[in-house]
Amino acid sequence: MTTYILRRVLLMVPTLFVIASLTFVLMRLAPGGPFMSEKEIPAKAKAALLERYGLDRPLHEQYWAFLRNAARLDFGPSYKYAPRQVTEIIFESFPVSLELGAWALLVALLIGVPIGVVAAVRQNTGADFAAMAAALAGVSVPNFVLGPLLVLGLSLTLFVLPPALWQGPSSRILPVLTLSTAYIAYIARLTRGGMLEVLRQDYIRTARAKGLPESQVVFKHALKLGILPVVSYLGPATARIVMGSIVVESIFAVPGLGSYLVTGAFNRDYTLVLGVVLFYALFLMLLNLVVDVAYTWLDPRVELG
């Protein structure tokens, strides 16, 4: 296990190098620049800004300087939010995105897993068809449509929940519901598929033949292996739910990292975009490692190689 973890950690280094290099090149190839605006900046002021941030140097010198600084987790100041450092912005805003994603993932698990279990146990019944129809609807409605609909219905019509911002428990309900709906559907379908496969195994028939209660057969014996597809999905799902909160953060004015990424991309804020992309990449790789290790704990038949 230790060897496997060390090997995976070492493999992160070249992966991050490739991601950093591609992001650097793509940002420089994009039209425009960090100091372009509707009102043209005087030539002397623009030259001073370029010199201050090192953008007047040759591109290869900028690239190597970026790699050296990134290795020390120093991405420099943001061009848009000067004089704030990129690392400062990341560490201040990421907890908001992480909280939003954690609540959404928790809601998705608490609702999606029971729906999938019920659908599997009552296969080809009305409950199964209703659960899968609801899951299909949840996947089909994008969050940029669902969010405004929830705001219109629950905030602007019924006045039961605040329409935006991130202040107090009630302000978290609509963003969490909007973000978690699609993942509830995915988890329900994965749970149903995994449970159907496990419920046909011989050891489940043996447990039922011994006269064990159905609830014990399902939740004690079948669910542990039936939920493995969901465990495999949790790694990329967690990364997607945190990174995918960009639209939700924009709809509900949530001060998360996603909103900074969008603003940085629009304003060609090279340092901010590069820092956020590398941070997200590292976060995703660490999550996948944790999920792989957890998978072997749940299913001892799986060996890490």
Q: CA neighbours within 13 Å on the CB side: how many for 279? A: 26
Q: What pLDDT was estimated at residue 129?
A: 92
- The domain that holds 264 is classified in CATH as 1.10.3720.10
Question: How many C-beta atoms lie closer than 10 Å to residue 229's C-beta?
Answer: 19
CA separation for the pair 25, 12 (Å, rounded)? 20
pTM of the full predicted structure? 0.76
Q: What is the DSSP code (8-state) at residue 58? A: -
Q: What pLDDT was estimated at residue 301?
A: 58
What's the alpha-carbon Rg for the chain, to the nearest Å? 24
Mean pLDDT per 10-residue run, the chain (305 residues)?
Answer: 81 90 87 71 78 83 88 85 87 89 92 91 89 86 88 90 86 91 91 88 83 82 83 78 78 84 84 89 82 67 56
CA separation for the pair 128, 139 (Å, rounded)? 17
Q: What pLDDT was estimated at residue 103?
A: 92
Phi–psi pair at 243, nearest 5 degrees? -75, -30
Q: What pLDDT was estimated at residue 21?
A: 92
Q: What are the residue ranges of helices labelled H in 30-164? A: 43-52, 59-71, 86-121, 126-140, 143-150
Sole residue written with tokens 């061009």: 79
Domain residues for 69? Answer: 1-305
Q: What pLDDT was estimated at residue 297?
A: 67
Strands (E), the chain: none
CA separation for the pair 183, 302 (Å, rounded)? 26
Give the SS3 label for residue 215.
helix
Count up the domains in the chain and report the number.
1
| Both tokens assigned to 145 | 């449509």
